[in-house]
A = this chain, B = another copy of it.
Amino acid sequence: LTTPFVIALDAMGGDKAPQSVLSGAAMAIERHPGIQYLLFGDEERLKPMLAKLPKLAACAEIRHTAAVVSPSEKPSQALRRGRDSSMRRAIDAVAAGEAVGVVSGGNTGALMAMSKFVLHTLPGIDRPAIAGIFPTINGEAVVLDLGANIECDANNLVQFAVMGAAFARSVLGLPNPTVGLLNVGEEELKGNDTVRLAAQILRGTPLPLEFIGFIEGDDITKGTSDVVVTDGFTGNIALRSAEGSAKLCFQFLRQAFGQSLLARLGYLLARAELNRMRQRLNPQNYNGGVFLGLNGISVKSHGGSDAHGFAAAVGVAAAMAKDQLKQRIIEDVKRFGGVAESPSQAAAQ
């Protein structure tokens, strides 16, 4: 196995694991030739599945692990008791340099805590953040933090902007991504001290990112900026509210199509296009919540995702690896320097 494209997989994480993991890994090979895998999980279950996927078998190695982190386990418990779990051993492989990154569909809190504990944060980064990719009217946007940091200071938000922009360059392929800071209005005086100070710092950025200032909640799906920066409390609630709203639309749509014979007929005629639309909004296609700011790639796949969803998460890890995102973030943060020393920041602390 050559190091740059080895990805460690938690083969036991997720509702449909290990089948969804193996099938997804096999799909990802087609899209990202050169990927190789370390599969952490129950060898007895994995072996026969792998035998049915010869292309995957040719570039994957099973590493037997007996333990699994349960979805209900608390992060602190998982850290203490999960040292031999498939999730932990996959992360350890990244720390040991055997793999560039880990992908898991298991317990999010445990993956975050273990990744942080094992991989540590990159130099210059105070706290890692969870980033996600979301559909917009004209494409996709990166949103972070989605819940890793409940309370953030201006410095954290600035670092999220730098990491989010680097991620957008790698994964969305945008050379000069625009970055917006989530707020309750666009005017400079809106919001709390933290977002105002972060905006002030970002306005003076020498980085390859274009800070467009404050944006509002509906700007996320409008695609007003390529990167949306916010604290983990607001980001998590905004994301879940948006997901809830999309579900409500589909629910009402289903009811509408069931309300008359004509409507049902109409549904049958438009079914193919409606299913394609549903796919465009399906979170599984935007799979791969990513922990940014760690010394190694760590990607979370939706717990309920199928093989397609898992393949998307592997694709995100592959794009980050190919683009050497880690190096990029280290350099950007270094070049951006002086953030912690900015006088207003020092005064705020």
Residues of chain B with a CB closer than 8 A to A240's CB: 216-219
A-side interface size class: 35 or more
User: Among residues 261 to 288 in chain A, which have CB atoms less than 8 Å away from a CB atom of chain B?
Assistant: 262-263, 265-274, 276-277, 280-281
> Which residue of B184, B241, B255, B265 is within 8 Å of A232 (Cβ)?
B184
Q: Knowing A241-B241, A242-B242, A244-B219, say if A270 contacts B263 (CB, 8 Å).
A: yes
Determine if B238 and A237 form an interchain contact, defined as CB atoms under 8 angstroms apart: yes
Residues of chain B with a CB closer than 8 A to A233's CB: 184, 191-192, 234
Determine if B246 and A248 form an interchain contact, defined as CB atoms under 8 angstroms apart: yes
Question: A220 within 8 Å of B by Cβ?
Answer: yes
Question: A71 within 8 Å of B by Cβ?
Answer: no
User: Among residues 166 to 223 in chain A, which have CB atoms less than 8 Å away from a CB atom of chain B?
Assistant: 182-184, 191-192, 216-222
> Closest CB-CB distance, A110 to chain B, in whole Å?
14
Cα(A274)–Cα(B247), bound, Å: 16
Cα(A222)–Cα(B246), bound, Å: 11
Question: A260 within 8 Å of B by Cβ?
Answer: yes
Question: A340 within 8 Å of B by Cβ?
Answer: no
Q: Knowing A262-B270, A263-B273, A268-B266, say if A217 contacts B230 (CB, 8 Å).
A: no
Question: A135 within 8 Å of B by Cβ?
Answer: yes
Residues of chain B with a CB closer than 8 A to A271's CB: 266
User: Among residues 243 to 262 in chain A, which have CB atoms less than 8 Å away from a CB atom of chain B?
Assistant: 243-253, 255-257, 259-260, 262
Residue ranges of A at the interface with B (Cβ–Cβ < 8 Å): 135-137, 147, 150-151, 182-184, 191-192, 216-222, 230, 232-234, 236-253, 255-257, 259-260, 262-263, 265-274, 276-277, 280-281
Contact sample, A vs B, 12 pairs, CB 8 Å cutoff: A184-B236, A216-B237, A218-B243, A218-B244, A234-B234, A234-B237, A237-B238, A245-B249, A253-B253, A255-B277, A256-B277, A267-B270
